[in-house]
Amino acid sequence: MMQTPLSIGIMMEHAEKFFAKKEVISQTHDNLHRLTYAEVGERTRRLMSVLGQLGIQKGERIGTLAWNHHRHLEIYFAAPGMGAVLHTINIRLAPEHIIYIINHAEDRILFIDEDILPLIEQVRDKLNTVKTFVVMTDKDERPESNLTPLYSYEKLLQTGSPEQPFENDIDENDPAVMCYTSATTGKPKGVVYSHRGIVLHSYALGLADTAAISESDVSMPVVPQFHVNAWGTPFACTWFGSTQVMPGPRFTPKRLAAFIERFKVTITAGVPTIWLGLLRELEQEDYDTSSLRAVLCGGSAAPKGLIKAFEQKLGVPFAHAYGATETTPLVTYSRLKSYQKDLSEEDTLNERSKQGILVPGLEMRVINDAGDVTWNGEEMGELLLRGPWIASEYYEDDRTANAFRDGWFHTGDVVTVDGEGSIQIVDRTKDLIKSGGEWISSVEIENAIMAHESVFEASVVAMPDAKWQERPIACVVLHKDHHIGKDELLTFIRPQFPKWWVPDDVLFFDEIPKTSVGKFLKRELRTQVKEYYEIKN
């Protein structure tokens, strides 16, 4: 067989040739843009040419601080397409973390949305490697800024060659993209994606039994492009010729709902928090969402109530998936097997609330102290992963040794696997609650509480206990204008659990602290709960 490399450039060339008329619809700060893949392809080529003019060398890192829009998409292909490395920076990180990752990645150039300029102006003096700044704006005038040299994206493109070829000399294992994941303690950790990893992951997204991304799709990634490449959808959707709808900066549930209706979005992807927000919007106002064929949900486990609302009230298939920054990210996808179509409504919902089966191309193990667990839906163990789109290390980081051992990535996620091979996230290894020598899953209790109609969010954490070692405490946010007490809530969940799983207390919050990507920040929550009891006692 020919030794042609799997490379990202080929994906855009495919779109230019076979899907030239299809569109990317992009909301920026000022305007709604509609560009064809012929245009996006030409602009990508101009950008590669410009990057060369600006002195960017093969292998150098190109940072982006940007929302989901067409310019960000162009950099997705131009950076790896010219042999450099796209580095998407999470704009929600604390400034000291942003400084750290730009310096650690040694970014040479930063592409910055106009509303994010102040963030970088503020830390500019601490960036050691950045030589050039580019602002992405629709305005003719470049904004006032202390960043120098500061170019305007659109003006730069005018100087590039529309026929610049994609770099030919690519080894498929060359780095193409990198992304830092926030650690629960310490600095963020960098993950590098190769051309090979991105291409194979894109195939996985196109499979009929996973996301089935297709030319006939209209895809709206809500998950940010700075978060694991918006789960890889912009790469796959471009390759397969889907229409893409980029919702732009600081979108609201209202904009998402309006875009679904207006552009007939068929597939969209995001974390549970986003879908909770969208659900409330859809319940308050009338929108035509009949075009949707799948709502992809990942990042953390979706509560059953959310799945039920989307599937049964709105008639929208809710597709649970699992992955991580270290896994590009798609690892499992939830889809009923052909012989499960006759399951009862409740059993179907149970299946839907699992994270699904492994995507073809990866290998998994689930282990605890006794070795590989039995696939019976009950035994818990840590999920280990192996495969061509699983990272093998953190970028220049000592923490590699702990997570990547014996040829496997140790996810830190505790799961069960049922007889069908479908996994269910039970907890993070570090969030499991150990009571009287037995494990309690904080996530299972959270899901049970969130099934109550008055509950908006719930997070369960461990508190030290003299007798039992640890005991669970539930932290709950209620829906607006809902009133319910501790006893009613515990009575509601009690039938579902052994007696010793039931939380010792329920605390009501206005808001639960979250990470920059919308996951519960349990470390912070534990501190708050601990302080509460210290003050109380």
Chosen residue from 106, 154, 420, 524 binding a second copy by CB under 8 A: 420
Restricted to residues 487-516, the positions that interact with a second copy (CB under 8 A) are none
* Strand 267-270 with 371-372, pairing: unpaired
167 binds a second copy (CB under 8 A): no
Measured between alpha carbons, how far is 209 from 207 in angstroms, rounded to an integer?
5
The CA-based diameter of the chain, rounded to the nearest angstrom, is 72
Least Å distance between CB 365 and a second copy? 11
Chosen residue from 8, 12, 13, 47 binding a second copy by CB under 8 A: 13
Do 505 and 487 contact (CB within 8 A), yes or no?
no
Chosen residue from 81, 83, 160, 197 binding a second copy by CB under 8 A: 197
DSSP 442: H
Residue in the block written with tokens 């709960």:
529
Which CB sits closer to a second copy, 216 or 374? 216
Measured between alpha carbons, how far is 469 from 373 in angstroms, rounded to an integer?
25
Which CB sits closer to a second copy, 7 or 300? 7
Cα within 13 Å of Cα(377), Cβ side: 9
79 binds a second copy (CB under 8 A): no
Least Å distance between CB 414 and a second copy? 20
173 binds a second copy (CB under 8 A): yes
Give the containing element (helix H, strand E) for 341: none
Do 241 and 12 contact (CB within 8 A), yes or no?
no
319 binds a second copy (CB under 8 A): no
Measured between alpha carbons, how far is 335 from 351 in angstroms, rounded to an integer?
8
Stretch that binds a second copy, among 187-195, 219-227, 476-484, 520-528 (CB under 8 A): 187-195
Handedness of CA 442, 444, 445, 451 (dihedral sign): positive
Measured between alpha carbons, how far is 149 from 136 in angstroms, rounded to an integer?
14
The residues near 467 (Cβ < 8 Å, ≥ 6 apart) are none
Chosen residue from 24, 200, 271, 450 binding a second copy by CB under 8 A: 200
Least Å distance between CB 337 and a second copy? 6
Closest to 210 measured CA to CA, from 341, 300, 305, 298: 298
59 binds a second copy (CB under 8 A): no
Which CB sits closer to a second copy, 36 or 516? 36
Give the containing element (helix H, strand E) for 444: helix 442-450
Residue in the block written with tokens 């109530």:
305
Closest to 111 measured CA to CA, from 141, 78, 82, 140: 78
Chosen residue from 280, 386, 434, 479 binding a second copy by CB under 8 A: 386
What residue type is 445 in one-letter code?
I
374 binds a second copy (CB under 8 A): no
Chosen residue from 40, 62, 79, 212 binding a second copy by CB under 8 A: 212
Chosen residue from 239, 275, 333, 520 binding a second copy by CB under 8 A: 239
Restricted to residues 427-446, the positions that interact with a second copy (CB under 8 A) are none
Chosen residue from 358, 448, 458, 502 binding a second copy by CB under 8 A: 358
Which CB sits closer to a second copy, 99 or 212? 212
Least Å distance between CB 188 and a second copy? 19
108 binds a second copy (CB under 8 A): no
Instruction: Please provide the size of the chain in residues.
Output: 537
Contact track, a second copy, 336-355, x by CB under 8 A = -xxx----------------
333 binds a second copy (CB under 8 A): no
Strand order in the sheet with 85-88: 150-152, 132-136, 107-113, 61-65, 85-88, 175-181, 189-194
Residue in the block written with tokens 């002195």:
55
Least Å distance between CB 283 and a second copy? 30
Q: Which residues are catalytic?
A: 181, 326, 434, 439
Binding site for a second copy (CB under 8 A): 1-4, 6, 10-11, 13-14, 17-19, 21, 173, 192-194, 196-197, 199-200, 203-204, 206-209, 212-216, 239-241, 328, 335, 337-339, 357-358, 360-361, 363, 386-392, 407, 409, 420-421
